[in-house]
Amino acid sequence: MSESYENLTAYMPPLEREGDFEQFWENSLRELAAGERSTAYQEPGESIFDWRETDCHYPLPQVRARRVELTAPDGASLRGLYIHPVWAGPENPVPGLIRWHGYSSNHGYICEILPWALMGYAVLALDVRGQTGDSPDPRRYKTGAYAGWMTRGLDAPENYYYRLVYLDAVQAAVALSRRPETDSRLAFFGNSQGAAVSAAAAALLSRFASVFPDWPAPSALGLGTPFLSHLSLALAEQSGGPLDEFSMYFRMHDPLRRTEKQIRRLLSYFDIMNFAPWITCPALVSVALRDTACPPRAVFALINHLGGRREVCVYPDYGHERIDPHLDRLILFLTEQAPPRSRPAP
């Protein structure tokens, strides 16, 4: 192991939280919880943690697949897929899994999450609002933005795009935990943006468990080449990824970068490195050493701040791409941390 690699794996910069970081997120979660009791977008007696569903025809009798829709407190329709073993139910509940997708993608196809259901999990895959799936973002932002989602709502942390994305992820976790097919175990996984959203949801559910005791605690976390970590460094070192949107934003809105300090402060509220100490469940993290979109140093900054046990898989010859060999490791990891149930005997 070279000295440079040793330095990389030991990289642990100070957290970059603002003084009100924890209070900001507690207030945000309280806002989400209040939406369960009062929102103009729910039918009488309906909770924001209840989803509407439509069965999907799928030619495998072992599973049941459904299209689902959650309504966020601001009226956003969060749509995606839910699939579980056909025998799962109140008498035979199974662990829940939530998969979040990468930047500018969508919830995908049944075949992508089918193996998890066949293994004995109830799997939810939702769109990140506003991206290229079926879930629009109805939010009206007060400021202009460059193409994409990174620069939407830069006037205040309360208005930033990823605040609602992270709250959507918590809402989805609570909704899945209340399904009759699921037991008390819940795990999150995803690549890139999906890893960031998974990490934020796991951190918030863990940190504020005493405030919201009827919300689920995460059992395990799979983070594939996570995005949105150590943003002060990533903005300087990355190339070819979504963070390039900030360069174009400054070129078009603020060529002298007079607002850069303010924007970096705002981004610190959404930097998953700053959430890492709150993550106490076991985590599997992959790092690609040729990744220019999510620089390895930024990923190790997250890893080295994690509050629970972590397992790290380093891939020297991969960039920011799907790492097929890592899927086998993820399957082993999740089945170790949240063992699936087998079909009950007839």
User: Model confidence over 86-104: pLDDT tens digits?
Assistant: 999 999 999 999 999 999 9
Determine contact, residues 107/125, Cβ cutoff 8 Å.
yes
The rounded distance, in Å, linking the Cα atoms of 285 and 302 is 9
Helix (H, G, I), strand (E, B) or coil at 326: helix
| Catalytic hit among 135, 177, 192, 268 | 192
CATH number, domain of 91, equals 3.40.50.1820
Task: State the CB neighbour count (10 A cutoff) for residue 61.
Answer: 7
Token couple for 177: 């935990």
Decide if 158 is inside a domain: yes
Decide if 148 is inside a domain: yes
Sign of the CA dihedral running 270, 274, 280, 282: positive
Q: With both helix axes pointing from N to C terminus, report the angle between 193-207 and 161-177 in degrees, rounded to the nearest 10.
A: 70
Phi and psi angles of residue 99, each rounded to the nearest 5 degrees, phi first: -110, 130
Q: Give the contacts of 151 (CB within 8 A, at least 6 positions apart).
A: 145, 245, 246, 249
Decide if 137 is inside a domain: yes
| Catalytic hit among 268, 291, 305, 326 | 291
Across 24-138, where does the E strand assignment appear? 52-56, 63-71, 77-85, 94-100, 122-126
Give pLDDT, residue 37.
64
Decide if 344 is inside a domain: no
Residue 47 annotated as catalytic = no
Task: State the CB neighbour count (10 A cutoff) for residue 196.
Answer: 29
Give pLDDT, residue 41.
65
- What rounded mean pLDDT belongs to the chain? 95
Which residues form the domain of 113?
3-337
Decide if 345 is inside a domain: no
Residue environment code for 281-305, b if the CB has 16+ CB neighbours within 10 A, otherwise e: bbbbbbbbeebebbbbbbbbbbbbb
Number of structural domains (the chain) is 1
Give pLDDT, residue 172.
98
How far does CA 262 lie from the centroid of its chain?
Answer: 25
Residue 291 annotated as catalytic = yes
Decide if 343 is inside a domain: no
- Whole-angstrom distance between the N-terminal and C-terminal Cα of the chain? 54
Helix (H, G, I), strand (E, B) or coil at 237: helix
The percent of the chain in helix, strand and coil, each rounded to the nearest 5, is 35, 20, 45
Give pLDDT, residue 345.
78
Give pLDDT, residue 35.
82
Give pLDDT, residue 202.
98
229 to 138, 259, 268, 272, 302: CA distances (angstroms): 27, 21, 10, 5, 6
Residue 192 annotated as catalytic = yes
Q: Give the contacts of 17 (CB within 8 A, at least 6 positions apart).
A: 268, 274
**CA dihedral of residues 81, 87, 92, 95 (deg, nearest 10):** -30
| Catalytic hit among 84, 101, 230, 320 | 320
Residues of the chain with pLDDT under 50: 1-3
Token couple for 208: 């504020």
Residue with tokens 């699921």: 182
Helix (H, G, I), strand (E, B) or coil at 194: helix
Residue with tokens 């049941």: 64
Token couple for 310: 């972590």
